[in-house]
C-alpha cells in the first residue's frame, strides 16, 4: 500500500485494487496503462495504448479467473490451461507439458505463472514509477525478482530481472515470456518484423490441425513451406480475423539482435519488445487463427498470435530442452540479470529496428498525390 498524496498527472502507480480477490498493481502515464495481477503469476493482463484505447493483449473468452478461489473439476497436469486468460505470462522452469525433473513434478508451463508473488512499490513520483515483484517457486529452488518501471510521455515499459539458483546443486531450466496478442488489435491482421534468420516449424502435434505450415519444415525467415508443401508461405503475415483458419507452433532463431515488432498496418499501431538475444535465443511463434481449434481448451473461440522470447525450445518441455542442449543450467548460487523493454508505437507500417531504450524505427505509409 502506498501512502503518497494521490495525483492525476504524470506517472501514476496504484496498488489500491483487487480483481476477483487478486492483488493488482496499475502503472500508467499519459500514453500507456499496464495492469499486473500480483496474485496470478505477476501476469500483465493489460498493455493499453491510451490514444487509441487499444489493448494489444489477447483476452481469453473465459475471462480472468483466480486460481486460489476455484477448484478444477478434475485433477489436471495442465492447470496453466485451466486458468489461461491471455495476456503476458512469465514462465519458469518448464516450457510445455507435464514433466518430472529430479523428482519434481512440473505441470504445463509450471511453476511461477499461477502462484502469488510478493511486491513492493519502490518509486512513486510524477517523473517515474516502479514496482518490484519477487517469487520463489514451490518445487524448484529458484528466486526470481523483477522491477517494472515507467516514465512520463513515453509508451514504454522497462523491466529488469534477476534469476538466482538457490540450490546446492546445478539445476536446469527453461525461461520464457508468453506474450499473446488478440482482438481487436488483430482484427485487420498484422505484420511481424524481427532480425531472425531461421524459422523452424514444430513437428506433428496430436489434435493440432489444420496447420498453417508444413510440420518440421525449416527455412530462412519469413518464408516457409505451406502446410500442403506446394508453395512458400510468408510467416511474417498474421491473417485478419475471419480470413484464415489454422493452428501453428514454430520457432524463430539465429537472431542478429534481440527484438520483434508486430504492427496492425491498417491502424498503423503496434507493439515492440527488446530483449537480450544471448539469453532469450528463441522466439516461440504460436497461433490460433479464426476460432479453428475445437475441444479443450479453446472450444472454437480463440483468435490469437503469440510471440514469446525464450531461453530454450521446443514446447515439448524441460526434458526435451535438456536433450537438445538448449536448457539453461545454473550452478549453485549462480544468478542471471537481464532487461526487457516493451513499447507501443504509432504511425509505422513496418519496423526496422527496436532499441533497448525504447526507440522504434521503421517505415511510414507512402502518401499518394
What is the reported pLDDT for 288? 97
pTM for this model (two decimals): 0.96
pLDDT digits (tens, 9 = 90+) for 10-48: 999 999 999 999 999 999 999 999 999 999 999 999 999
Q: Which one, of 188, 193, 180, 149, lies nearest residue 46 by Cα?
A: 180
pLDDT value at position 4?
64
Q: Residues 204-234: pLDDT tens digits? A: 999 899 999 999 999 999 999 999 988 999 9
* pLDDT attached to residue 367: 53
pLDDT in tens, the chain (369 residues): 455 677 888 999 999 999 999 999 999 999 999 999 999 999 999 999 999 999 999 999 989 999 988 877 777 777 888 889 999 999 999 999 999 999 999 989 989 999 999 999 999 999 999 999 999 999 999 999 999 999 999 999 999 999 999 999 999 999 999 999 999 999 999 999 999 999 999 999 998 999 999 999 999 999 999 999 889 999 999 999 999 999 999 999 999 999 999 999 999 999 999 999 999 999 999 999 999 999 999 999 999 999 999 999 999 999 999 999 999 999 999 999 999 999 999 999 999 999 999 999 999 987 543
| pLDDT at res. 261 | 98
> Can you give the residue ranges of every domain in the chain?
12-358
- Top CATH class, 12-358: mainly beta
Res 368: pLDDT: 43
Amino acid at each position: 500500500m502506498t501512502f503518497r498524496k494521490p495525483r492525476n498527472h504524470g506517472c501514476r502507480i496504484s496498488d489500491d485494487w483487487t480483481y476477483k480477490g487478486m492483488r493488482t498493481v496499475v502503472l500508467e502515464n499519459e500514453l500507456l496503462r499496464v495492469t499486473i495481477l500480483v496474485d496470478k503469476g505477476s501476469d500483465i493482463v493489460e498493455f493499453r495504448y491510451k490514444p487509441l484505447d487499444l489493448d494489444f493483449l489477447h483476452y481469453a473468452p473465459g475471462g480472468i479467473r483466480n486460481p486460489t478461489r476455484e477448484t478444477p473439476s478434475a485433477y489436471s497436469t495442465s492447470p496453466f490451461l485451466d486458468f489461461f486468460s491471455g495476456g503476458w505470462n512469465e514462465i519458469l522452469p518448464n516450457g510445455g507439458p507435464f514433466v518430472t525433473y529430479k523428482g519434481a513434478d512440473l505441470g504445463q508451463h509450471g511453476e511461477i505463472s499461477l502462484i502469488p508473488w510478493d511486491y513492493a512499490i519502490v518509486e512513486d513520483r510524477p517523473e517515474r514509477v516502479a514496482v518490484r515483484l519477487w517469487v520463489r517457486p514451490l518445487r524448484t529452488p529458484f528466486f526470481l525478482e523483477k522491477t517494472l518501471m515507467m516514465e512520463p510521455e513515453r509508451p514504454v515499459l522497462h523491466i529488469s530481472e534477476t534469476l538466482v539458483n538457490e540450490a546446492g546443486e546445478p539445476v536446469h531450466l527453461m525461461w520464457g515470456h508468453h506474450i499473446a496478442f488478440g482482438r481487436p488489435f488483430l482484427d485487420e491482421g498484422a505484420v511481424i518484423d524481427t532480425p531472425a534468420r531461421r524459422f523452424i516449424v514444430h513437428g506433428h502435434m496430436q489434435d493440432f490441425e489444420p496447420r498453417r505450415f508444413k510440420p518440421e519444415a525449416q527455412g530462412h525467415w519469413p518464408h516457409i513451406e505451406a502446410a500442403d508443401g506446394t508453395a512458400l508461405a510468408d510467416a511474417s503475415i498474421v491473417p485478419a480475423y475471419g480470413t484464415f483458419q489454422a493452428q501453428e507452433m514454430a520457432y524463430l532463431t539465429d537472431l542478429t539482435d534481440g527484438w520483434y515488432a508486430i504492427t496492425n498496418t491498417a491502424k498503423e499501431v503496434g507493439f515492440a519488445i527488446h530483449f537480450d538475444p544471448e539469453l532469450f535465443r528463441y522466439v516461440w511463434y504460436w497461433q490460433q487463427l479464426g476460432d479453428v481449434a475445437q475441444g479443450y481448451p479453446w472450444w472454437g473461440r480463440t483468435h490469437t498470435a503469440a510471440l514469446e522470447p525464450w531461453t530454450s525450445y521446443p514446447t515439448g518441455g524441460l526434458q526435451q530442452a535438456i536433450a537438445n542442449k538448449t536448457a539453461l543450467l545454473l550452478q549453485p548460487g549462480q544468478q542471471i540479470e537481464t532487461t526487457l523493454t516493451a513499447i507501443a508505437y504509432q504511425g509505422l507500417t513496418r519496423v526496422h529496428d527496436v532499441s533497448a531504450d525504447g526507440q522504434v524505427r521503421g517505415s511510414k505509409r507512402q502518401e499518394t498525390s
